[in-house]
């Protein structure tokens, strides 16, 4: 097992590929547990890796019990000015979220820990999945996709196909790439408006586009229902409000998606997707 600065793994890898997520608090541990259960239920190949910061053992234990390889990850060695610019209050004041509500446990600076995926050189290929995603069909083919592949950030307008969403992406771990990223990340005056997402879009300007079915954002349900097709969805992404939040502002509009997440999170099977209701009309 490779010893890598900033990472401390509990055990060696068991495969050449890995599904990787990031857990920075108890809430995202809840999300990651549902995600890992969804991977197990579709028979996904590869390791399930949880990069985590200083999260309580009680929150991590269920992930380990579900088969995850836990890797303690340090925050990136960014400077005081960078950290201040990307703190929650400072970032939201400068670049407010106007399309949806970020939950109170969202800490923007933690998002950059995602870049430590490129330090996982025990693996030939990785697919990153945000902890608020569910895998609804086997997607092992993503390990063969080139670096850097991501789906567009489409949930309000078709014009957003030009922007990527970093909730799902493919990567080839490389210490050289990681070092190059750090050199580009924290430069004088740096401000990455949507943290890792904006940075990755800048670092990989010729990113490969995945079909939206590999990262279907939940707001498509009511904003672009013509894009919603249960027969095609591979990965569902609960952007903005989370399905484990009680009575969030859009809970009524997203009820079928929340119930889907709750069932899988509780250990149930992935249902027959053809039996699920269609989205509401425009």
Write down the residue that tokens 């991590």 correspond to: 60
Which residues are CB-neighbours of 245 under 8 A, at least 6 positions away? 103, 251
Q: Does residue 38 form part of some domain?
A: yes
Domains identified in the chain, total number? 1
Which alpha helices (H) appear in 152-237, and where do they start and end? 175-185, 196-203, 220-223
pLDDT score at 95:
53
Model-level pTM?
Answer: 0.93
Say which residue, 97 or 30, is predicted with more confidence: 30
Confirm if 195 and 167 have CB atoms less than 8 A apart. no
Percent of the chain with pLDDT over 70: 91
Q: How confident is the model at residue 194 (pLDDT cuts 50, 70, 90)?
A: confident
Please state the φ and ψ torsions of residue 10, each to the nearest 5 degrees.
-75, -30
DSSP string, 207-256: PEEPPGGGSEETTHHHH-GGG--TTT-SEEE--SS-TTSTT-TTTTTTHH
Q: Does residue 281 form part of some domain?
A: no
For residue 148, whether the previous peptide bond is cis, meaning omega lies within 30 degrees of 0, is yes
pLDDT surpasses 80 at 92:
no
Q: How confident is the model at residue 190 (pLDDT cuts 50, 70, 90)?
A: confident
Give dist(CA 101, CA 160) in Å, integer. 19
Q: Considering Cα of 57, then 62, then 63, then 67, what sign does the dihedral take?
A: positive
Q: Does residue 63 form part of some domain?
A: yes
Domain membership of residue 190 as a residue range: 7-275
Helix (H) or strand (E) holding 8: strand 7-9
Q: How confident is the model at residue 269 (pLDDT cuts 50, 70, 90)?
A: very high
pLDDT score at 144:
98
The enclosing domain of 144 has a CATH number of: 3.90.550.10
Q: Does residue 280 form part of some domain?
A: no
Q: Does residue 113 form part of some domain?
A: yes
Alpha-carbon separation of residue 205 from 149, 186, 198 (angstroms) = 11, 18, 10
CB atoms within 10 A of CB 88: 15
CA torsion 60-64-67-73 (nearest 10°) is: 60
Give dist(CA 64, CA 100) in Å, integer. 32
Q: Does residue 234 form part of some domain?
A: yes
pLDDT score at 104:
62
Confirm if 39 and 135 have CB atoms less than 8 A apart. yes
pLDDT score at 6:
96
Burial class (CB in 10 A: 0-12, 13-18, 19+), 228: middle
Q: Does residue 1 form part of some domain?
A: no
Question: Residue 22 pairs with which residues in a beta bridge?
Answer: 51
Tally of CA atoms within 13 A in the half-sphere of 170 that contains its CB: 21
């Amino acid at each position: 097992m490779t010893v890598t600065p900033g990472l401390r793994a509990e055990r060696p890898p068991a495969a050449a590929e890995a599904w990787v997520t990031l857990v920075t608090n108890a809430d995202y541990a809840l999300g990651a547990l549902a995600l890992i259960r969804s991977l197990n239920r579709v028979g996904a190949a590869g390791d399930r890796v949880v990069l985590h910061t200083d999260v309580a053992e009680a929150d991590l234990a269920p992930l380990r019990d579900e088969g995850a390889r836990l890797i303690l990850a340090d925050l990136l060695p960014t400077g005081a000015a960078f950290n201040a610019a990307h703190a929650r209050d400072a970032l939201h004041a400068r670049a407010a979220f106007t399309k949806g509500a970020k939950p109170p446990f969202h800490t923007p600076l933690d998002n950059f820990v995602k870049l430590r995926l490129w330090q996982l050189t025990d693996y030939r290929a990785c697919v990153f999945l945000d902890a608020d995603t569910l895998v609804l069909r086997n997607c092992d083919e993503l390990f063969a996709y080139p670096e850097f592949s991501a789906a567009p950030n489409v949930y309000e307008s078709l014009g957003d196909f030009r922007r990527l969403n970093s909730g799902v992406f493919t990567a080839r771990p490389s210490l050289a790439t990681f070092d190059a990223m750090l050199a580009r990340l924290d430069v004088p005056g740096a401000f990455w408006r949507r943290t890792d997402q904006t940075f990755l879009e800048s670092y990989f300007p010729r990113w490969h586009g995945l079909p939206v079915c590999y990262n279907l954002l939940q707001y498509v349900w009511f904003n672009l229902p013509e894009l919603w097709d249960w027969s095609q969805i591979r990965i569902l992404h609960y952007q903005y409000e989370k399905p484990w939040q009680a009575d969030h502002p859009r809970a009524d509009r997203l009820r079928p998606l929340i119930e889907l997440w709750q069932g899988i999170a509780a250990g149930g099977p992935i249902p027959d997707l053809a039996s699920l209701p269609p989205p509401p009309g425009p």
